[in-house]
Structures are given as structure tokens and as C-alpha cells.
Amino acid sequence: MAVQLTILGSGSSGNCAYLETGETRILVDAGFSLRQIRQRLATIGRAPEGLSGVLITHEHTDHINGLTALCSKLSIPIYCNRPTKDGLEWQLKSQFDCRIFSTGSSFEVGDISVDTFSIPHDASDPVGFLLRTSAGNIGFLTDLGHATKLALERVRAANILVLETNHDLKMLQDSGRPWSLKQRIAGRHGHLSNTDAADAAQEIMSADLRHLYLGHLSRECNRPELAHEVITGRMEKIGAHHVTVELTAQHVPCPTLLLEPAVRYTQKTLL
């Protein structure tokens, strides 16, 4: 049976992705309101009531905003580590059904095997994921100030990778943001620039990586066409013509990616 991946939205104001296998339906992060998540899932004929769980990378608002309405009201379990649980419950002033994992461990949600690994970001214990399915591996590597050897090694097996391209360094420097915020974003526990992301993609490149989603773009300090130009230019330079580079957006879901067990990938919007 085909595996379906839909990036419901990605950016500085909200992040959420949907993954469906034969047995399991999960979200990776829930940074939109329940109303928005419901509307975006409806575009692919799905509803939040059918979810098996929500994986949380870290406790920042743009990754957990919809958890109270989504998980408390609908009794959907959350998968996160202990520091993230403490952080999100403190921020949202609510208790949740959390299935706790230790960073660096692996566990299963239905027929999805989840590998976790530490990433450098200014949160309590932020993680990246490699989700192993019968039709391929999907990596999530966003919200990190620099790509560590550990993180790159853990997503090296990805067939599809969601990779942060948060900002263009010159646009960040020229922006009207406070200097302290600029330092935080560009720091080693902040966010990846377009060039940083290109370096990371080049480092992990293999014949098995087929789709590269550019995520978490800053509205003020980046432009979609600029991020796409930097990454596609690097792919051409290293001869990675087999990789399809896709932009994500804050306001609209990406077309659904269908992963066949025979490792054939197609895109369409499900109706």
C-alpha cells in the first residue's frame, strides 16, 4: 500500500506535516490551530479524528499551537521527550497523554518506525526524526542552528527530507530586527540559512534521496524563489539531478507525495 506525505504548512508561524501508511496516520508537529489543521486535512479527504498520534520536535509555539484543542479534546496521544513534555505543558497550561521517548532512541507508532536524534536549537531538548515506512524513509531536519555530524548521519538514509531553509543571511542582516534576534537566528542554536541547508544536503547526498522539501522559510528574511535557487543550484553543481526540490508554504499545503513500496514516487492532490 502506498504511503502518503503531505506538508500541511511550514514557516515561522506554524509547522505541521501529515503521514499516512496502511495502518497509521500521524502528524509531525501541530503548529496550527485545530480549525486550520482540520481545514488542511480536509483538502486531502482526511480528518483529525483519524490520527494515531502527533510527534513533536520541540516546544516552540509554531510547533505546538494546536495541541490543546487537537489532543485534549480528541484524545490523541503525543510522542515527545520529557523536557519537551514539561515545556509544552507549562506553555499551554494543560496536561496531555504523552508517550515519552528518550532522545536518540527508536520506537514504533503502528507500522511506522521512528528514529529520534538531537539537534542544536534553543529549546529544551529539540529532536529531528527519521520515519521508516514500508515505502521509504522520511527525514525531518528543521529548526537547527547548524547541521551536526550526528544529525546528518541520522538522516542520511532518507528518501524524502524536509530540510530547513529559514533565511538568507544578507536579508537577515539587512532586516529591521533587533540585533539580539539576528544573533539568535544566525547562531549555532538558531536556524539554517539557505547556504547552510545547501551544505547539509550536499553532505548527505546519495542516490536514494529523491525529494527535498525546503521548510520553515522566514517571511521577512527569505524569499521562496531565492531558497529554491540556492538549493537547486547546489544540486546541479554536484550532479544530483535525481533530486526533486520542493518549496513548502505557510498558508497552503503542498501536493501530497505518494510513496510506493517499489520506491516509485508520484505527486498529486488527493480529492
pLDDT in tens, 27-84: 999 999 999 999 999 999 999 999 999 999 999 999 999 999 999 889 999 999 999 9
Which tens digits make up the pLDDT trace of 96-137?
A: 999 999 999 999 999 999 999 999 999 999 999 999 999 999
CA distance 178 to 41: 36
Question: How far is CA 221 from each of CA 78, 163, 230, 246, rounded to the nearest angstrom?
Answer: 32, 17, 15, 19
User: Would you state the pLDDT for residue 146?
Assistant: 98
User: Would you state the pLDDT for residue 158?
Assistant: 98
CA distance 61 to 14: 8
Residue with cell 546519495: 206
Rounded mean pLDDT, 199-221: 97
Cβ neighbors of 88 (< 8 A, separation 6 or more) are 56, 59, 64, 67, 78, 80, 96
Confidence grade of residue 16 (pLDDT, cut at 50, 70, 90): very high
Cβ neighbors of 161 (< 8 A, separation 6 or more) are 138, 139, 140, 141, 155, 201, 204, 209, 211, 212, 213
Q: What is the mean pLDDT of the chain?
A: 95
User: Would you state the pLDDT for residue 127?
Assistant: 98
Q: What is the H or E stretch that residue 196 is in?
A: helix 194-204
User: Would you state the pLDDT for residue 269?
Assistant: 38
User: Would you state the pLDDT for residue 263?
Assistant: 52
- Say what percent of the chain tops pLDDT 90: 94
Asked if 251 and 13 touch (Cβ cutoff 8 Å), the reply is no
Q: Tell whether domain 3-268 is in CATH 3.60.15.10.
A: yes
